[in-house]
Every structure is written in structure tokens, then in C-alpha cells.
């Protein structure tokens, strides 16, 4: 009787070990799958631009008011500040852009971005922002109108 109980305990231990191993593999696969859909804003922009420097950008808000930024230092600072923002690529989603941004490179190529509080469209790719949307906040700051002092 004691011998069969010991065999039973070994069998249970083996089943628990195999179950935990399978569960670990499934969780690892899920984590890898989730991470493969993530990219930083800087990486996504680099894929779009292919290392072409940005000369200027034009921002149109939801009221079609347009702001043109030709200061290359300001443009580069904006992109650098947002570069580490984590994005998760998603399939074609409906995006209600608050800002349409046109990038002009020094090679005279034109690229489009759309952004709101939670999503970014870079070229043809759609992304959901993980965490704080630094790019949106920076664009909002740039377009904010200060009241005129008379």
C-alpha cells in the first residue's frame, strides 16, 4: 500500500511538472507575440523615412488651421522627444485625427502622420500608443494659441 501511494505521488508530481512546463511555454509564446507587435515611435518613423532628414513639417488641426514649422532644430527635438514612445501596431482602425501632420524631407519627399490622444497613423500603419502620447502632447503645445496682449 505504501509503495502504490509513493507511485501515485510521483505520478501527480510528474503531471504537475508537465502542466507547469506547458503553461510556461504558452505564456512565453503569448509574451513574444505581444512584443512582436510593439515598436517605438522612432523606429516606426525610421522605417517610413529611411533615414531621410526632415526639413519641415506642417500641422493641420481638426479645424483645418495650419501651422508650418521650418525650424529644423524644433522639428528634430520634437521627433527626438517622442522617439521612445511605445506603440502597438494594430489592423486598420478608425482614427479620428485631431492633427494631420505632413513631413517634408530634404530630398523633397512628403510623408503623412495622423495623431490623436490614443492612436497614431504613420504612413499606412496604425498604432495604439502604450502609455503617455508624448508626440500628441508636443503637437498640442506647438499649436496652442496664446491670447493676444493688447
Query: pLDDT, tens digit, for every residue of 71-93?
Result: 888 888 888 889 999 999 887 67
Cβ burial of 83 (10 Å; 0-12, 13-18, 19+) is middle
pTM above 0.75, yes or no: no
**If you ran DSSP here, which 8-state letter would residue 52 be given?**
P
Cβ burial of 119 (10 Å; 0-12, 13-18, 19+) is buried
Q: What is the pLDDT of residue 148?
A: 39
Residues 6+ apart with CB under 8 A from 88: 37, 38, 127, 128, 130
Q: What is the pLDDT of residue 14?
A: 84
Q: Which residue's C-alpha cell is 526632415? A: 54
Q: Collect the ranges in the chain with pLDDT lower than 50.
A: 146-150
Q: What is the pLDDT of residue 35?
A: 55
Please, where are the H alpha helices in the chain? 2-36, 41-49, 72-82, 134-143
Q: What is the pLDDT of residue 147?
A: 41
Q: Quick one: which of 48, 49, 56 has its CA closest to 73?
A: 56
Amino acid at each position: 500500500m505504501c509503495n502504490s501511494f509513493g507511485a501515485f505521488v510521483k505520478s501527480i508530481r510528474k503531471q504537475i511538472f508537465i502542466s507547469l512546463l506547458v503553461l510556461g511555454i504558452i505564456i512565453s509564446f503569448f509574451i513574444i507575440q505581444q512584443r512582436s507587435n510593439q515598436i517605438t515611435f522612432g523606429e516606426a518613423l525610421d522605417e517610413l523615412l529611411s533615414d531621410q532628414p526632415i526639413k519641415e513639417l506642417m500641422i493641420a488641426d481638426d479645424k483645418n488651421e495650419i501651422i508650418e514649422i521650418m525650424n529644423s532644430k524644433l522639428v528634430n527635438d520634437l521627433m527626438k522627444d517622442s522617439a521612445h514612445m511605445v506603440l502597438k501596431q494594430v489592423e486598420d482602425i478608425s482614427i479620428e485625427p485631431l492633427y494631420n501632420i505632413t513631413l517634408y524631407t530634404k530630398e523633397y519627399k512628403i510623408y503623412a502622420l495622423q495623431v490623436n490622444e490614443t492612436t497614431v497613423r504613420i504612413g499606412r500603419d496604425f498604432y495604439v500608443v502604450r502609455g503617455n502620447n508624448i508626440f500628441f502632447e508636443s503637437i498640442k503645445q506647438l499649436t496652442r494659441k496664446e491670447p493676444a496682449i493688447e
